[in-house]
Structure 1
Amino acid sequence: MLLTALLACLAIGVVAGFLAGLLGVGGGLVIVPALLAMFHLVGIGDAHAQHLALGTSLATIVVTSISSLRAHHARGAVRWPLWRAITPGIVLGTFGGAQLAGIMSGPTLQWLFVVFAYTVATQMLAGRQPAAHRQLPGRATTSAWGAGIGVLSSWVGIGGGSLSVPFMTWHNVPVKEAIGTSAAIGLPIAAAGAIGYIVSGWGVAGLPEGSVGFIYLPALVGIALASFPLAKLGAAAAHRLPVPMLKRMFAGLLIVLATRMAWQLVSG
């Protein structure tokens, strides 16, 4: 059973790492439902499964984002001044959101994930981006946007790309730079979220062996081993592959995953 779980986590890491590098979004949106399925496979109870999936997802994104941001930085696609402006809000929002998530029920967090996944899928299928008709705001406003991105990212276990990329393109940042900067923003989101879920889950009864707070270490290791090299390949592929077509395919996958989770919630 442990071997099956490890192989499953390696497969999750392959898909999530490549998507994170390729699209600047998607890693956590795949990891969270995949982890829920893996937890059921190895007999981890439902009481804290969603919290564990969110915390573990954010912890794995620490690894993915390092690989992805290095690849995008090598291509000059990261706007570091923007990263420095948005990061304080990102850190505060993500850490605070993880503390709030710790007192929210699993079904509530799952419904938030379902709604968010459908929203992202709809936007990808429509192929619309916010009209780029304004410049980036000042540091304080940018940081405030970062706080909002961080809170929502912590509740759905993502690196924030599906929120930060539209924010940047709305403010006249070229798409490839928005994706590259989003990959860099994923690091403080993931780090603050992972620490937040460790704190909010510390001392909670009934967590499986191998957990540190709401992070399940065996899954973290398996996913990280595969996601690190694949994120680099995905970032390289982003400059060569037809990303709009791949986004539509990914949107279809999101709809399937969100529908499955919603059906399980409704059917009990």
Structure 2
Amino acid sequence: MPSLSFLLAYLAFGAVAGVIAGLLGVGGGIVVVPALVWFFTAQGFSQEIIMQMALGTSLAAIMFTSISSFRAHHRRGAVLWPIVKAITPGILVGTFAGSCVAAKLPTGFLKGFFVAFLYYVAIQMLLNIKPKGSRQIPGAPGMFGAGFGIGAVSSLVGIGGGTLSVPFMVWCNVAMHTAVGTSAAIGFPIALAGTVGYIVNGLGTPNLPPLSFGFIYLPALVGVAAVSILTAPYGAKLAHKLPVATLKRFFALFVLAMATRMLWDMF
């Protein structure tokens, strides 16, 4: 069992992840993954599997966070279920395929990919870059392709996909608050397929820590999920009341700091 200090840290980051998931529709993985990398390193996990463990555990936690988040958005009429239904097949295939690829990649590459992704997200939020709404939601082939791409990238960085699905929906003339709510719902199939992929590809892997199920570290999963499902509704409530652009800028600075710290640790 991890020490009490690590269990408390999992609970604390779960609370933050839940608020962020409800507020921005991003699943909370942007905060959870780097935190888990630091915690797992401090606990002495094998360097060869730390990133896979962090990604898999983050996606497993997002399964629970996304349910709490999208239910809160649904009560406010902010989830477009036809979009969720149309994009889910591509999401499932892309996320599972991405998790299979990630399981075979070295931790160093995954860390570098994640750091680059964090910088992309931070700059996008800091500058409040929004795609110009210029078209409508595409047909079935287009939605499958979009879902596949969103799912594949999400599984490589351990997130619920909101940083990709929200801009995609805004580009298709979906209102911002509705895009955030719908993204929260899309996070569930991403997390489900990614979790299955990281479990299947992690079973039998050498040097897994005790209390692991594939690439899922169960104490961290329980700690993060138990609190995030309680705080996600508060994030959803804030999303409908507070100036999201201002909050995104503060969050972007936080993400920049995390990315820079991870980049420093890599070298």
TM-score normalised by length of structure 1? 0.98
Aligned-pair CA distance for 1:26 = 5.8
Q: TM-score, normalised by structure 2?
A: 0.98
- 1:2–1:42 contact (8 Å) kept in structure 2: no
Separation in 1, partners of 2:257, 2:126: 14
Structure 1 contact 93–150 (Cα < 8 Å) conserved? yes
Structure 1 unmatched runs, 5+: none
Dislocated runs of 4+, deviation >6 Å: none
**Residue 237 (structure 1) shift:** 1.1
* Residue 244 (structure 1) aligned with residue 245 (structure 2): yes
**CA displacement at 1:118 relative to structure 2:** 0.2
Corresponding residue number in structure 2 for 1:149: 150
Which secondary structure does the structure 2 equivalent of 1:66 belong to?
Answer: helix
Q: How does 1:195-210 map to 2 (within 5 A)?
A: 195-210=196-211
% of aligned pairs identical? 56
Q: How many residues align?
A: 266
* SS class of match (1:43): coil
Deviation string, structure 1 residues 138-168 (Cα, Å, up to 9, x no partner) = 0121111100000000000000000000000
Distance in 1 between residues matched to 2:99 and 2:29, nearest whole Å: 15
Query: What pairs up with 1:10-89 in 2 under 5 angstroms?
Result: 10-25=11-26, 27-89=28-90
Q: Match of 1:129, as an amino acid?
A: K
Q: d(CA) in 2 for partners of 1:208 and 1:149?
A: 30
Q: Which range moves more in the overlay, 91-100 or 234-243?
A: 234-243
Q: Distance in 1 between matches of 2:3 and 2:242?
A: 36
Aligned to 1:179: 180
Question: How far apart, in 1, do the equivalents of 2:258 and 2:52 lie?
Answer: 18
Once residues 131 and 243 of structure 1 are traced to their aligned partners in structure 2, the CA distance between those partners, rounded to angstroms, is 18
- Residues 27 and 184, structure 2, Cα contact 8 Å, conserved in 1: no
Tell whether the 8 Å contact from 2:27 to 2:66 is kept in structure 1 after alignment: no
Listed as ranges, the matches of 1:78-227 within 5 Å are 78-227=79-228
Deviation at 1:216, TM superposition (A): 0.3
Which amino acid in 2 is paired with 1:104?
A: L
**Distance in 2 of aligned mates of 1:166 and 1:233:** 23
CA deviation profile, 1:102-140 (whole Å, cap 9, x unmatched): 110001000110110000100111112000011111012
CA distance in structure 1 between the partners assigned to 2:233 and 2:3 by the alignment: 28
Distance in 2 (alpha carbons) for counterparts of 1:125 and 1:224? 28
Q: Distance in 2 between matches of 1:70 and 1:244?
A: 23
CA pair 257-26 structure 1, distance change in 2 beyond 3 A: farther
